[in-house]
Structure 1
Amino acid sequence: MAISYTTIAVISAVIAAVTFGIPWLLAEVFPVQSLLKQRNGRPTVTTKSYKGRTALITGANGAFGSRAAKLFAERDVETLVLVDVRDCTAVKEQIEAEATANGRAKPNILLWQIDMMTFAGCQVLAKKAKELKNLDHVLLTAGILSFDRRESPEGWETSIQVNFLSNALIALTLLPLLRSSPGNPTPPVLTFVTTFSVYPASPTMGMPRTGSYLKRLSNNKPGLAQGHQYGRSKALLLYFTRELAARVSAAEKQGRMKGKATVNSADPGSSWTGLTNPNQSMLIPRLIMNISARDPVIGATALVNGASSSASGHGQIMADFDMDPYPPFMERKSGRFAQQRVWEETRAELEAKVPDIKAVYEMLDRK
């Protein structure tokens, strides 16, 4: 019996979908090999000693932040600044008790609270950080996961506010304060936290023909968009980080920065934590987490290594043992254009509400 043209067309379409569609899907929105690699990864802290250095960690009461703080303390960090919206006294007491039990000197631990829902709350951090003699390592782990749409007092969806805008503001205000201690042979490091979630969120991040890109992502509807809001906010942060790193390099070459600094992102991988536990009730997120989840201390180790990177890690995404590539959607021409839009719109928002930040932006202007 002869095969009809319709049947041939259907078979061809199926073959094309299998041949091209699945590889595209795996590369663009679900890089499963990367997830499996992280699940099996067992990194160790590569820096033997942080003696004489200062490390500042936001989200220090969280699963990754608290464990990262302990890893720094175990390697003799001199000053540890624990920053969180919640009180970190319990974390401080655990670190001190472990130091005493193991015969180590207790680090000087400072407890600072911060309100990342407002720009004014974020500015408090920079004012306090000016009192530090040096600032070798900044690890920005603070973030939220919200499946219900809410707005911050600044008028932004809360994931966009905390995970992106507030982290960007904190980084910009701390950038001029980065300063290596006398015993630190490498430039100070400022590290943002990125995540696999930027991949499945990418199809929902199209650029609007008119109007603000950030507002388009902030003014989302409940449902699919809000379900991807964590990944969307982290993708914005990844755009910002890459642009910030490029501008820091230019400012250093042109003598507009007093010293050198390494700016990068680090991926801790997936773990079941207080942040991700809401995924237990959703089938697909739960299955993805079960594929990749590992002990939070392993993720914290990856973050500490990222925040201890040499200058070769500048502008890179630091993973367990090497550097990860940027997601494909960020490497295309449209992604480069989106990166500039994110930088420009963020600058307009922050300069309007935080006038003091203008001096930092001017230092980072390309000339």
Structure 2
Amino acid sequence: MDTYWPIVAVAVVIVGLSYGVPLFLREYFPWWSLRDQRLAKPTVTTKSYKGRTALITGANGAFGSRASKIFAHREVETLVLVDVRDCTPLKKEIEDELKEAGKPVPNILVWTVDLMSYADCQELGRKAKELKHLDHMLMTAGILAFNRRESPDGWETSIHVNYISGALLALLFLPKLKSSPGNPNPPVLTFVTTFGIYPSSFTMGVPKQGSYLKKMSTSKDGLEQGHQYGRSKALLLYFARELAERVSAAAADKGMPKVTINSTDPGSAWTGLTQPNQDKLIPRLIMNLGARDPQICATALVNGVSAPATGHGKIMMDFTTAPYPPFMERKSGRMAQQRVWDETRSVLEAKVPETKAVFEMLDAA
């Protein structure tokens, strides 16, 4: 009998490797997604944005600046550049490029915003009244914080900038989104998502008591802080999916104008934001597995924020759509999503009272 135990043990190991490893990878590290992005070379699907208005947050960034130029070179009528840093040099660069190419120069607006300031976000929402139309809103603004810092409001900075302010701007701009006469599709609001959600997901458990957002905002330097970018983007993906579902319900039950809400995964690239990963072995290896030209990443984002109504509520990625992470599709993920929405509502209604009307508009009929 004893001679059978080694055989049984080997069989258990084989079964574990055959089923356990693929399951683990699917949950925490679907490397084939990075591989496919590295090999993909999407091109801009919209030939002309003539007569339309596009707004890009994080416009000075590697992706935002390139996305801005894509819109500008395809006849966009009004281009709104938004960043914490002054985008005037980028505006001049775009104008010079277009003049040299003999192309029309759009009306380029430069707006600044500190995403750790509720007042700045409110002011940005008020500026939107200047726009007759807003066809495309691409939200690339974000930070990657390797050391824990807190915003003036007491949130870990990744949570505040990438999540809370991202959700806030979406709510403030939602009533302003309106397609121009020449745009056959509903206006599009696009959040930026990331592969980093997957390895961060094992830290996304919901506490039985206390604030979920506060738990996500609590981190220590080192491995835990290294997950903050992914955690903040996971919260944003929860919010984006809930927002898309509520926008659909409001359009059907309350006659709210149709708006396409989606998230787009641009893939990874070596940029000023990710450069610190060069000094970290595991992050560097992961980055190298999927890193591609920032121009391709920007192209993917522009295609995402140009998606037709069929892209509503989906994750856009190059030539197709991507599934939501497994932990978000389970019952526990749906419960977490509702909690994220409710807690975010409580925070924002207290800090930015004008969001209350938007939340009420999005309440189930």
Question: 1:1-367 maps to which residues of 2 (within 5 A)?
Answer: 3=3, 5=5, 7-8=6-7, 10-257=9-256, 259-367=257-365
Contact between 1:268 and 1:299, CA under 8 Å: does it hold in 2?
Answer: yes
1:138 and 1:47 map into 2 onto residues whose CA distance is: 15
Contact between 1:149 and 1:226, CA under 8 Å: does it hold in 2?
Answer: yes
1:255 and 1:40 map into 2 onto residues whose CA distance is: 44
Q: Which amino acid aligns with 1:196?
A: F
**Aligned-pair CA distance for 1:3:** 2.9
1:110 and 1:20 map into 2 onto residues whose CA distance is: 54
Q: Which amino acid aligns with 1:29?
A: Y
TM-score (norm 2): 0.98
Q: Percent identity?
A: 67
TM-score (norm 1): 0.97
1:310 and 1:256 map into 2 onto residues whose CA distance is: 19
**Aligned-pair CA distance for 1:329:** 0.7
Q: Which amino acid aligns with 1:361?
A: F
Contact between 1:151 and 1:158, CA under 8 Å: does it hold in 2?
Answer: yes
**Aligned-pair CA distance for 1:334:** 0.6
1:155 and 1:282 map into 2 onto residues whose CA distance is: 28
1:64 and 1:224 map into 2 onto residues whose CA distance is: 26
Closer/same/farther in 2, CA of residues 336 and 282 from structure 1, 3 Å limit:
same
Aligned Cα root-mean-square deviation (Å)? 1.2
1:71 and 1:150 map into 2 onto residues whose CA distance is: 34
Q: Which runs of 5+ in 2 are unaligned?
A: none
CA deviations over 1:252-309 (Å, ceiling 9, x no partner): 011252x211000011000001111111110011001101000000000000000000
Contact between 1:256 and 1:363, CA under 8 Å: does it hold in 2?
Answer: no
2:60 and 2:190 map into 1 onto residues whose CA distance is: 17
1:326 and 1:252 map into 2 onto residues whose CA distance is: 23
CA deviations over 1:134-184 (Å, ceiling 9, x no partner): 100000000000011111111111000000000000000000000111111
The secondary structure found in structure 2 opposite 1:265 is: strand
1:109 and 1:17 map into 2 onto residues whose CA distance is: 58
1:186 and 1:141 map into 2 onto residues whose CA distance is: 22
Contact between 1:240 and 1:342, CA under 8 Å: does it hold in 2?
Answer: yes
Contact between 1:269 and 1:293, CA under 8 Å: does it hold in 2?
Answer: yes
